[in-house]
Chains A and B, each alone.
Chain A
Amino acid sequence: MSPSVPLQEMIRAIRSARTQCEERGVIQRECAAIRAQFRQSDNGGRSHNLAKLLYVHMLGYPAHFGQMECVRMIASPRYSEKRVGYLGAMMLLDEKQDASLLITNSIKNDLSHSNQYVQSLALCTLACMGSAEMCRDLAPEIDRLLRASNSYIKKKAALCAVHIVRKVHDLGELFTPAARSLLAEKNHGVLHGAVVLITELCERNQETLERFRKTVPDLVQIMKGLVISGYSPEHDVAGISDPFLQVRILRLLRILGRNNEGASDAMNDLLAQVATNTDSTKTVGNAVLYETVLTVLHIKSESGLRVLAVNILGRFLLNNDRNIRYIAMISLQKIVGTDHNAVQRHRGTIVDCLKDQDASVKRRALDLSLALVSASNVRSMMKELLLFLSSCPPELRAQAASGIFNAAERYAPSQRWHIDTILHVLTTAGGDVRDETVPNLIQLITNASELHCYTVHKLYRALLTDISQQSLVQVACWCIGEYGDLLLRGECQETEPVQVTEDDVLDALETVLQSHMSSPATRGFALTATMKLSTRITDNVDRIRSIVSIYGSCIDVELQQRAVEYNALFRKYDHMRAAVLERMPVIEKNSPGHTNGESTGEPIKDIQTLKVKQGEPLLPQQPANQVCDLLDLLGGSEVTLQPIPAVGGTAPGLFTNTSSTTGGDLLDLLGGLEPAPPAPAPTVQVYEKAGVALTLSCEKQSDSGLTVTLTASNSTDSDISSFTLQAAVPKSVQLHMKAPSGDSLPARGAAKVTQMVVLNNPNKVNLKMRIRISYSSQGSAFQDTVQIDSFPGLSAAGH
């Protein structure tokens, strides 16, 4: 075997290897040599060999065979060998390896070694990779070192104690008294270690925190010394004396002062002093100021101090250094909820940061800007945000789009502005918006009846320019279908008049139908829109007829089904066509009983297909009670469904679809609309006898669905068991009882039993419920019945 080379030579050899393969060869040879050396007994080159092995390990090659060697070297009396041994231990061993336990004894001996450097090695290794058992064994030693040694050892011991506390939380108690006394030290290193230790102890244990509150005056004193005292060359960094210690003390003060008036008062002056006196031209000063600001904002500081803190953050925002702007925004984000006005003052700067080149800065600026939108500044903010949307990185698009929508919804100054904004977002980032946007927008448009003309003109123009954004295309198709006559009329107050012929419109819709960019859903929209136009245009009905019949043999089943139905409408039911394809009623936003059904464009089209089957002229444009009319028709038209014969074999499928659904499901189809804010569920006591009380609260889930919650409680002195409830309702009402939370009621109301009952009342009969209560108490069985005639939370109309 080749003789082992000195460390430097080996490193040079490895570095001069030109290929990966060569390098591996060199390393393998060296490792073999090292392994052979390890097997021999003590020779002078042991530390070099281990050092070589560690270098190889750093390059990423396996070095496990060196672990035992580390253990042996640690036990050696020579300092150089100990040092490499400990270094090896820190690099090669970790808690999971069994060999790490073997060095516990060596560490223990070394902790009491006469040479302080040996002690420090042991402390260092323990702090780096000490496992829980090792920590438990050696904790008393550390405590001893904390009290009775020189400052060099003390500061290492303090941090070692921090590691121990992190590994084994209970040992915190052991170190508390020593930590307290360390605060009196003058040596900065020891002080630093002590503050870190105390921080760690306080974070883990509430009682320790209480005890250390008394040290706040001492800490304040130390800080004052640091801030006011003159130049101290040893710990000075760019003119600030020991900024690291200052930062740690501020952090500890923050933890001690949180939620505590007394401690916070004691620090007020100090924090004001630090905030005003610290030089902020260099990063160091800003680091201290930042920590001060965080502390001020987290403790119960007086308002003047808070204003000072926010102003400092504002100054940070104007700083040239991007780092500082970034952290300022992080902090502002946290307080924008509480100190909203203070943050508003810096809105301009924040909006400017949207244009920064770093993506993380942009993200923070976006979050903050969205939080700062309010009724007064919404127009200008939205302009900036829309500008941002057009140039923002793709990962932020979805967030920006949804943020803009929320803000627009809350603060829109006018409907036209709202619609414009949404359209703008759809044109720039249509691919990243959520699915509910389409029905939401449609509903918004129908509500703004005076803007129909304007909207459809705008959408038509958008459609002509670009048909790749699916959401936009879907909304455009729907509007053109609905308001095509307004489009063709040509005049409109809000935009310049432009002559649109029927052929143009049909061309546009056909392009959408045929384009490969359109998704199936979009195609469905376009086809239905084309159909609707048949009643709104005069000349080209034949063209529409031909389009519709072409799609009767389309491969896509959904499209084929529609086309066939529309064909049927043309052929056999032409007299009904006008009525069927009339304007849609205004969809009310918060009408009662709308649930959040499927939120795609499908629901609106399904209403259309249902109308095909009704066969009666329906839905005159009545604003209110649309919902009830629909239900009546569905209920009333059970009879009239028969005359419509099966058309093309597909209609019966649809028949069963609707006839099996109850009124509630019809309303589900109107989904995508905002659910009615659930009325606060009032509770009513319906039964009270012999100490057993039953209360009832109900919540309307839909126009015919109701969830009733029954709560039972026991105010007697004895426990009740086998508590069951049975319920009966009128015949047409469907009842479904969910599992109760339990069947025993402990005495004196210690716990309650709740049971949910889901009712479905499609026929809107007067809702009554009879409940039978049975339970056993003190060995005997009880039974009782109660009838409930009126349900709280239901309107007087008795739905």
Chain B
Amino acid sequence: CIRFILIQNRAGKTRLAKWYMQFDDDEKQKLIEEVHAVVTVRDAKHTNFVEFRNFKIIYRRYAGLYFCICVDVTDNNLAYLEGIHNFVEVLNEYFHNVCELDLVFNFYKVYTVVDEMFLAGEIRETSQTKVLKQLLMLQSLE
């Protein structure tokens, strides 16, 4: 199961942090810094999987943003890698060619997308069309 999802930029600023496990605030801060340190030193020569404490992190870099999902050691790496890509494609559709600023200024909407696709530490909805339909509906309620 997923322990947390992080979107960070290269400088270490958090654009999204979704926690599926209980951590104190200072623990969260430490985790964010550790993940940043581990992930930014890796380049194309490395695999997309990193052992981290007693979990592992599946990450992928899109432009200047690192999308990191921290999962249990027994989970299927490739499936979550695809999950990340699925999520990014939805963001792309929703924000019409998403860029980092979109995520900054509409951070609460990004959380909505995350909650549509992931829940309770598991992948929830995988069909991009369905998710986008729901998001548009939610938006109309605002």
Is B35 located at the chain interface by the 8 A CB criterion? Answer: no
A475 sits at the interface (CB 8 A): no
Which B residues are CB-close (under 8 A) to A326? 47, 49
Number of interface residues of A (CB under 8 A): 61
Q: Which of A162, A233, A234, A242 interacts with B120 by CB under 8 Å?
A: A162
How far in angstroms is the closest Cβ of chain B from A141? 16
Nearest residue in A to B17 (C-beta to C-beta)?
A: A58
B46, CB-defined interface residue at 8 Å: yes
B residues near A358, Cβ cutoff 8 Å: 45-47
Chain A residues with Cβ under 8 A from B50's Cβ? 360
Is B104 a contact of A155 with CB atoms below 8 Å?
A: no
B97 contacts the other chain (Cβ, under 8 Å)? no
Stretch at the interface among A283-291, A536-544, A786-794: A283-291
Q: Are A163 and B121 in contact (CB under 8 A)?
A: yes
Contacts of B79 in A (CB 8 A): 243-244, 247, 287, 291
Binding-face segment, A187-195, A375-383, A406-414, A661-669: A187-195
- Is the Cβ of B122 less than 8 Å from the Cβ of A159? yes
**Across the interface, do A84 and B108 meet the contact criterion of CB distance under 8 Å?**
yes
Residue A95, interface by CB 8 Å: yes
Q: Which residues of A contact B16 (CB under 8 A)?
A: 58
For B141, list chain A residues within 8 Å (CB): 79-80, 117
Question: Are A193's CB and B45's CB within 8 A?
Answer: no
CB-based nearest A residue for B51: A360
- Alpha-carbon separation in the docked complex, A242 to B24 (Å): 36
Say yes or no for B14: interface residue by CB 8 A criterion: yes
| Interchain CB contact (< 8 A) of A244 among B14, B123, B129, B137 | B123
Residues 68-82 of A at the B interface (beta carbon under 8 Å): 79-80
Q: A244-B82, A247-B79 are contacts. A360–B127 as well, Cβ < 8 Å?
A: no
Question: Hey, which chain A residues are within 8 Å of B123, CB to CB?
Answer: 192, 244
The answer to whether B105 and A8 touch across the interface, beta carbons within 8 angstroms, is yes
| B contact residues around A188 at 8 Å (CB) | 126-127
**Cβ-defined contact, A54 with B122, below 8 A:** no
Contact indicator A160/B119 (Cβ below 8 Å): yes
Q: Give the complex CA separation of A578 and B112 in angstroms.
A: 89
> Least Cβ distance of B63 to chain A in Å?
18
- Interface members, chain B 96-139 (any A CB < 8 Å): 104-105, 107-108, 111-112, 115, 119-127, 129-130, 134, 137-138
CB of A305 closer than 8 Å to a CB of B? no
Given A159-B120, A235-B127, A242-B126; A95-B22 close (CB under 8 Å): yes
Whether the Cβ atoms of B124 and A159 lie closer than 8 Å is yes
A361 within 8 A of B: yes
Residues B115 and A124 in contact, CB atoms below 8 Å apart: yes
Q: Is B9 an interface residue (CB 8 A)?
A: no
A243-270 Cβ-contact flags toward B at 8 Å (1 or 0): 1110100010000000000000000000
On whether the beta carbons of A127 and B119 are closer than 8 Å, the reply is yes
Is the beta-carbon distance between B82 and A323 smaller than 8 angstroms? no
Task: State whether the Cβ of A60 lies closer than 8 Å to any Cβ in chain B.
Answer: yes
What does the 1/0 interface line of A93-112 toward B look like (CB < 8 Å)? 01110000000000000000
Tell me which residues across on chain A come within 8 A of B130, comparing CB atoms. 189, 234
Q: Known interface pairs A15-B104, A58-B107. Does A323 touch B124 (Cβ–Cβ under 8 Å)?
A: no
Residue in chain B with minimal CB distance to A188: B127
**Structural contact, A156 and B134, CB atoms closer than 8 A:** no
Say yes or no: is A579 at the interface (Cβ < 8 Å to chain B): no
B121–A323 CB distance below 8 A: no
* B94 contacts partner chain A, Cβ-Cβ < 8 Å: no
Given A83-B108, A128-B119, A237-B86, 6 other A-B residues pairs in contact with their CB atoms under 8 A: A11-B105, A58-B14, A79-B141, A193-B124, A244-B123, A358-B46
Binding site for B on A (CB under 8 A): 8, 11, 15, 51, 54-55, 58-60, 79-80, 83-84, 87, 90, 94-96, 117, 124, 127-128, 152, 155-156, 159-160, 162-163, 166, 188-189, 192-193, 196, 233-235, 237, 242-245, 247, 251, 283-284, 286-287, 290-291, 294, 322-324, 326-327, 357-358, 360-361
A-B contact pairs, 26 of them (CB 8 A): A58-B15, A79-B141, A83-B108, A83-B142, A87-B111, A117-B137, A127-B119, A127-B120, A159-B124, A162-B121, A192-B126, A193-B124, A234-B130, A244-B123, A284-B78, A284-B82, A287-B82, A322-B45, A322-B46, A323-B78, A326-B49, A357-B45, A358-B47, A360-B47, A360-B50, A361-B47
- Closest 6 A-B residue pairs measured CB to CB? A287-B78, A163-B120, A127-B120, A159-B119, A159-B120, A234-B127
